[in-house]
């Protein structure tokens, strides 16, 4: 009974997160690609400048968590549907869980701990708000 309720919540989560992900991903692509210079203009200064802004920090966190949890839950269902050997199924589900937790922790750390003005870096590689050395 408890499993059924969890599966139902998972089903609802996949529909809701799918809709939110469409908006987040298209915003992400538009902001990163529709700038002067397009994809070629993405460099350290661009990324560090974005990640110094709390709006983009939380935007990226939402995108990271939703995309990973959505993708992981989808993969979990595929494994449960197609992998019939119990031991192999357990190994794959464990690997999936470990990789997802690792990516969520590392990705979130990058978003909130990136130093946009690392000491000793030439000024032309840094965002414009970094103090001149």
Give the residue, chosen from 10, 13, 28, 76, that forms a contact with ligand HEM under the rule CB under 6 A: 28
Integer Rg of the chain from CA: 19
CB 52 within 8 A of CB 128: no
Cβ-based nearer residue to ligand HEM, 16 or 110? 110
Does residue 17 interact with ligand HEM by CB under 6 A?
no
b/e for 97-111, b at 16 or more Cβ within 10 A? eeebeeebeebeeeb
Give the residue, chosen from 64, 92, 126, 130, that forms a contact with ligand HEM under the rule CB under 6 A: 64
Pick the closest to residue 96 from 71, 129, 122 (CA basis): 71
Cβ-based nearer residue to ligand HEM, 8 or 112? 112
Residues found near ligand HEM in the complex (CB under 6 A): 25, 28-29, 32-33, 39, 42, 47, 50, 56, 60, 63-64, 67, 107, 110-111
């Amino acid at each position: 009974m408890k499993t059924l309720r969890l599966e139902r919540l998972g089903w609802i989560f996949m529909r809701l997160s799918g809709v939110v992900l469409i908006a987040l991903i298209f915003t992400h692509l538009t902001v990163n690609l529709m700038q002067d210079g397009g994809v070629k203009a993405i460099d350290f200064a661009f990324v560090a400048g974005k990640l110094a802004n709390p709006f983009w920090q939380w935007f990226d966190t939402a995108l990271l968590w939703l995309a990973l949890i959505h993708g992981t839950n989808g993969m979990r269902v595929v494994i449960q549907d197609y992998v019939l050997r119990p031991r192999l199924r357990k190994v794959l589900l464990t690997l999936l869980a470990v990789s997802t937790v690792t990516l969520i922790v590392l990705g979130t750390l990058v978003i909130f701990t990136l130093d946009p003005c690392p000491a000793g870096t030439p000024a032309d590689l840094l965002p414009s708000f970094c103090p001149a050395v």
